[in-house]
Structure 1
Amino acid sequence: MSWLITGGGSMLAADLLALLARSGEQVMAPTRAELDLRDERAVRELVSGYRPRVVVNCAAWTAVDAAETREAEALAINGRAVGVLADACSWAGARLIHLSTDYVFDGRSRVPYREDDQPSPVNAYGRTKLAGELAAAGHYVVRTAWLYGAHGPNFVSTMIRLAAARETVDVVDDQRGQPTWTADLAAFLVRLAVSDLMPGVYHGTSSGETTWYGLAREVFTLLGADPGRVRPVPGAACPRPASRPANSVLANTRCEPIRHWRTALHAAWPALATEEARQCRPA
């Protein structure tokens, strides 16, 4: 089976590439510099020429706050370019798996969001990602959230760094979600690609839920640092240009769920913790 992974330089793409390499799959993974999804001709020529069986779209505008003032730019990548890619995949007979986000929901629900719940984004980034979902209709859309991994900047790596640099760290405790290891998500995407599941929306996040504060405490515990150094604060104490949903928890009702976030974090730890992090001790 031949694979095309757009956004080949992303954190998720790195783990997906590693997984496919172990199984001997044929993979092409152009980076943003090698394939600009906004270049319609280049996208169509690559898909028609390479003729992949599976296309995983990891390319996206992910700067949530910047999208508030640059929504048109974000929409060009997260929305219109997805439509071009989807059309090219339909023409070539490729199975497209497009990555979306929990931010398509407003976060007001008291229960986890199901795949068929009505989206209602509260920020520009969420609106552009919802546009991408609509553009990929008829293909596979996987919503995920709170990604961390060994191949890119993320919340977990930030907490590891801050644990070594600060006496205390203030972390938001009124936003709930599901920390998801990119290696687990990569395996989820491969299972979906070879499954007999019908096209549609799927939720690809770890099981369970926590807050950013809860995740930070778990990171400190794994470092051997005092989790009491993490202090809970409301989101209002850390204002950002883009609003964040208070509840980002996604229910997985359509396929096999990913393991619990805490189990995954412990399994990921050897790949996440740098030598400096392993030597971190309570201040």
Structure 2
Amino acid sequence: MTILVFGRTGQVAQELAVHAGVTCLDRFQADLAQPQSCAAAIRAASPTAVINAAAYTAVDQAEDEETLANVINADAPAAMARECAALGIPFVSISTDYVFDGSGEAPWKPDDATGPLGAYGRSKLAGEQGIASAGGAYGILRTSWVVSAHGNNFVKTMLRLGVERDRLSIVADQIGGPTPARDIAAACLTMARQLAEDAGKAGVYHFGGAPNVSWAGFARAIFTEAGIECQVQDIPSADYPTPAQRPLNSRLDCSTLETTFGITRPDWQQGLSDIVSDLKTTH
């Protein structure tokens, strides 16, 4: 199977790149700000499946750049999905828990009512709608709190700050599942392969690490894993204001992904151990 991936430098794209048969495109080869260039790239490559691992992910900046976020997160994936539908090949795209309003404490199911709190969430939801309306064999994988040894993410930020400071104040009222990018990449590949055989599996699915934890609790686990002595003080989101509001409840019900594709929730604690180990060997 030959798989074309949009994205090269992102966390999931870098994990996908190590797999055989995968070709990753950077923004110079396919600019998501020019959606038709993405469709043209698919036609030129003639792959057997496409995975979109690229996105506008600057959550706060999106509040001031919603038009651009919409082009990259909505128009481009929709153009990719239409081209894949025309070619009769599966299309898998990564989405986010930010399509929900974060209310309550129950894990979000794929068919729950959406209600994005900000521009980023709205742009990703619009992308989901465009993909679904394209009419092809598609898989939308909503995930949360992506972490890896690559790029910028919470684990790497905590590892840096933890050695610089004796104490950190971390938000404790946002709950979710940290999700290793390596596991997201594997899930996307599994979905693409199975969708190629059974288009009836098309739809929206959830994938988040287990067990659910707060950002503060996750920070403590990071320091323990890395052997860093840094105290964590729990604070509410109200004490750490940001331009874009974050959902308090990012718990995801991942049961349909398991029943349909046989993909289980990843253990983020094992993933964290792998990330810390990878970083030690590369630095």
| Structure 1 length-normalised TM | 0.91
- For 1:17-28, what aligned pairs fall within 5 Å after superposition? 17-18=17-18, 20-21=19-20, 25=21, 27-28=22-23
Check if 1:272 corresponds to 2:275. no
SS of residue paired to 2:170: strand
Task: Work out the CA distance in 2 between the residues paired with 1:251 and 1:12.
Answer: 21
- Asked if 2 retains the 8 angstrom alpha-carbon contact of 1:5 and 1:57, the reply is yes
Structure 1 residue runs of 4 or more that deviate by more than 6 Å after TM superposition: none
Deviates more, 1:204-213 or 1:256-265: 256-265
Deviation at 1:51, TM superposition (A): 1.2
- The aligned runs of 1:1-283 (5 Å cut-off) are 1-18=1-18, 20-21=19-20, 25=21, 27-137=22-132, 138=135, 139-195=138-194, 196=198, 198-226=201-229, 229-254=231-256, 255=258, 256-273=263-280
Post-superposition CA distance 1:142-162 (Å, at most 9, x none):
001100111111000000000
Greater Cα shift, 60-69 or 45-54: 45-54
Q: How far 1:188 sits from its partner (Å)?
A: 1.3
Deviation of the 1:263 alpha carbon: 2.7
Amino acid at match of 1:35: A
Q: Which runs of 5+ in 1 are unaligned?
A: 277-283
% same residue: 38
Q: Residue type matched to 1:264 in 2?
A: G
How many angstroms apart in 2 are the aligned matches of 1:51 and 1:251? Answer: 35
Aligned equivalents of 2:79, 2:282: Cα separation in 1: 43
**1:281 corresponds to which residue?**
none
Q: Which amino acid aligns with 1:84?
A: A
Whole-Å Cα distance in 2 between the matches of residues 100 and 44 of structure 1?
19
SS in 2 for 1:207: coil
For each residue in 1:90-123, what CA deviation from the matched residue of structure 2 results, as whole angstroms up to 9, or x when unmatched? 1122210011000000010220001111111111
User: Offset at 1:42?
Assistant: 2.1
TM-score, with normalisation over the residues of structure 2?
Answer: 0.91
Do the aligned partners of 1:15 and 1:183 also contact (CA within 8 Å) in 2?
yes
Q: 1:32·1:59 contact (CA, 8 Å) conserved in 2? A: no
